[in-house]
Amino acid sequence: MEQVMHEAEGMGPAAGPDARGAAPAWRRRAGRLDAILAEAGRALRVLDGTVSHERANPAGPASADDPALSDAESRHAAGLMRVNHVGEICAQALYRGQALLCRDEGIRRVLLRAAEEEVDHLAWCRQRLDELHSRPSLLNPLWYAGSFGLGLVASRAGIPYNLGFMAETERQVEEHLDGHLNALPDHDRRSRRIVTRMRDDEIGHRTTAEDHGAAPLPAPVRGAMRLMSRIMTTTAYRI
């Protein structure tokens, strides 16, 4: 009777498990649609800043003892923290895109765990931008969509390159954050505490990817990633 009903609904006899014991095609399609809708909802929460994060801001509570910044220093610090915020938007979207199509459950967990920590970074950068009376980049939806698409493409390159992509991303972010620690005003202790913790986490993400078998990426791919990063950092500082 149940089979008749499924056939009447256009699902045919494939509604039950197939000969290999796999889920029926309609159920796999429904599962994929659920995953895509869940990712769309997640993207909206990341972009509007309401995605929940786990760890407390390493800058700690604001205090009257925090050194005051001049207007020029505040603008400069805000530009750098906006760049960092965009970097976290990109990392978040990249890893979620890679995880969506990853068939290895262990590697999928590695990618999603890194993405969770990037959410903490995202929230800390956003909080610092608010403190500096500034705002996130207006181009964040574009950065998220582009990075998510890149993650989907990267996921088809196989597990070692997938992890290689993660390791190279983290390596470049690490260098970039080291540069920001030199560029931030010396007495902007709150931004410095955030960037230092982020840099330490990114080192952890890189070594995790390497420990799980990350393959070195070809030089042209590394170069293209650097070029994209340069475009992102230049535009995000202002827009």
Binding site for Fe ion (CB under 5 A): 88, 118, 121, 202, 205
Q: Measured from the CB atom, is 176 or 190 closer to Fe ion?
A: 176
CA distance 191 to 121: 12
Q: Measured from the CB atom, is 188 or 202 closer to Fe ion?
A: 202
CB of 120 vs Fe ion, minimal distance in Å:
8
Contacts 24+ apart (CB under 8 A), 169-176: 169/91, 169/94, 169/225, 170/202, 170/203, 170/205, 170/206, 170/209, 171/206, 172/225, 172/226, 172/229, 173/87, 173/91, 173/202, 174/199, 174/202, 174/203, 174/206, 176/87, 176/229, 176/233
Q: Measured from the CB atom, is 69 or 87 closer to Fe ion?
A: 87
Q: Measured from the CB atom, is 76 or 205 closer to Fe ion?
A: 205
DSSP 3-state assignment of 9?
coil
Query: Six-digit token pair at 107?
Result: 């590697």
CB of 73 vs Fe ion, minimal distance in Å:
24
CB of 123 vs Fe ion, minimal distance in Å:
11
CB of 69 vs Fe ion, minimal distance in Å:
24
Residue 114 burial (C-beta neighbours within 10 Å; 0-12, 13-18, 19+): buried
CA distance 204 to 139: 28
Q: Which amino acid is at 226?
A: R
CB of 161 vs Fe ion, minimal distance in Å:
18
Q: Measured from the CB atom, is 69 or 155 closer to Fe ion?
A: 155
Of residues 152, 172, 197, the one with CA closest to residue 35: 152
CB of 115 vs Fe ion, minimal distance in Å:
9
CA angle 195, 200, 204 (to 5 degrees): 140
Q: Measured from the CB atom, is 100 or 195 closer to Fe ion?
A: 195
